[in-house]
């Protein structure tokens, strides 16, 4: 509890981090209460209400605050339900990356030698390819869907976490508390998961927060290319793809989902930077 209080005292001094935290809290609120906040079913089509302009534009309809898309679907409702999809993407993709990244990094850093060399050269091989290209390759093999997109994003994120964990393990296993536990007869499993791993969590938290932003952005990119969420899913990237043809005639169909992606990614990045500063041991 004392460590958390110290962390919070450092975190709240970062104004940008507080802005990011507020944005994420709004996102979580929208995702949790989307069924109560959304005025319409996000997949409900109404040809008579096609491309209705937002209420703040002349001729706008009060029934659709942010207007409608080319199929007459309420954009506000789709944005709210899209928040659920974005959070799900972040949790699943980052969860996959953290789980396998921790396993590979922990084993490589702890045992060293040939195991370390083979594991990290494989991670380097994955890092040598552009991440979006590797994601597209995995999705192309598995087939276009939101589930496969999350799996691909998670797989591509593994090397980053593995390298961070390995570096932390190499430092922690040389410290006195680790050596003392080893002399007391602790097993390899206990040394890795009970003694060393809890002391490697600080960089993992920072990387995971940044990973959320990357996962949301990459998933939106895949959906925009038609490789992620499939119609009629109200995913923000898919909404951008559907609205691209109306960029000159009905720009609001493009602007609102684009703004949601921007604000979400910015929120995670701001919070990640603030967490990194708050956990900095050199901070006075």
pTM comes to: 0.90
**pLDDT truncated to tens, each residue of the chain (284 aa)?**
677 788 888 888 899 999 999 999 999 999 999 999 999 999 999 888 888 889 877 777 778 889 899 899 999 999 999 999 999 999 999 999 999 999 999 999 999 889 999 999 999 998 888 888 888 888 888 888 889 999 999 999 999 999 999 999 998 888 888 888 888 888 888 888 888 888 888 889 889 998 999 999 999 999 988 888 888 889 999 999 989 888 888 898 999 999 999 999 999 999 999 998 888 766 54
CA 261 to chain centre: 11
pLDDT of amino acid 121: 93
Hey, what are 258's tokens? 């684009």
**DSSP per-residue string spanning the chain:** -HHHHHHHHHHTT-HHHHHHHHHHHHHHHHHHTHHHH-SS-TT---GGGTTPPPTTSTT--TTSTT-B-TT--BHHHHHHHHHHHHHHHHHHHHHHHHHHHHHHHHHHHHH-HHHHHHHHHHHHHHHTS-HHHHHHHHHHHH-SSHHHHHHHHHHHHHHHHHHHHHHHHHHHTTSHHHHHHHHTT--HHHIIIIIIGGGGHHHHHHHHHHHHHHHHHHHHHHHHTTSSS-TT---HHHHHHHHGGGTTT-THHHHHHHHHHHHHHHHHHHHHHHHHHHT-TT--
Task: Please tell me the distance from the alpha carbon of residue 149 to that of residue 140, in angstroms, as a whole number.
Answer: 10
Peptide bond into 271 cis (omega under 30): no
pLDDT of amino acid 162: 94
CA angle 114, 119, 120 (to 5 degrees): 105
Domains, in order of start, for the chain: 10-30+72-278 (1.10.3720.10)
pLDDT of amino acid 256: 94
């Amino acid at each position: 509890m004392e460590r958390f209080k110290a962390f919070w005292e450092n975190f709240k001094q970062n104004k940008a981090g507080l802005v990011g935290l507020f944005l994420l809290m709004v996102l979580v609120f929208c995702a949790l209460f989307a069924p109560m906040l959304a005025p319409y079913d996000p997949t409900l089509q109404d040809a008579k209400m096609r491309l209705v302009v937002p209420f703040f534009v002349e001729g706008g309809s009060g029934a659709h605050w942010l207007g409608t898309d080319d199929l007459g679907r309420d954009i506000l409702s789709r944005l709210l339900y899209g928040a659920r999809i974005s959070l799900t993407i972040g949790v699943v993709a980052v969860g996959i990356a953290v789980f396998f990244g921790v396993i590979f990094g922990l084993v490589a850093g702890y045992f060293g030698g040939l195991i370390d060399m083979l594991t990290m050269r494989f991670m380097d091989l994955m890092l040598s390819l552009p991440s979006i290209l590797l994601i597209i390759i995995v999705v192309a093999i598995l087939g276009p869907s939101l589930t496969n997109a999350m799996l691909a994003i998670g797989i591509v994120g593994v090397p980053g976490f593995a390298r961070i964990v390995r570096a932390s393990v190499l430092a922690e296993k040389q410290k006195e508390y680790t050596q003392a536990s080893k002399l007391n007869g602790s097993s390899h499993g206990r040394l890795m998961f009970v003694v060393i791993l809890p002391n490697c969590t600080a960089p993992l938290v920072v990387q995971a927060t940044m990973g959320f932003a990357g996962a949301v952005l990459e998933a939106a990119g895949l959906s925009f290319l038609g490789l992620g969420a499939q119609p009629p899913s109200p995913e923000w990237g898919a909404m951008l793809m559907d609205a691209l043809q109306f960029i000159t005639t009905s720009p609001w169909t493009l602007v609102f989902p684009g703004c949601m992606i921007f604000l979400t990614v910015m929120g995670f990045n701001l919070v990640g930077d603030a967490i990194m500063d708050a956990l900095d041991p050199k901070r006075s």
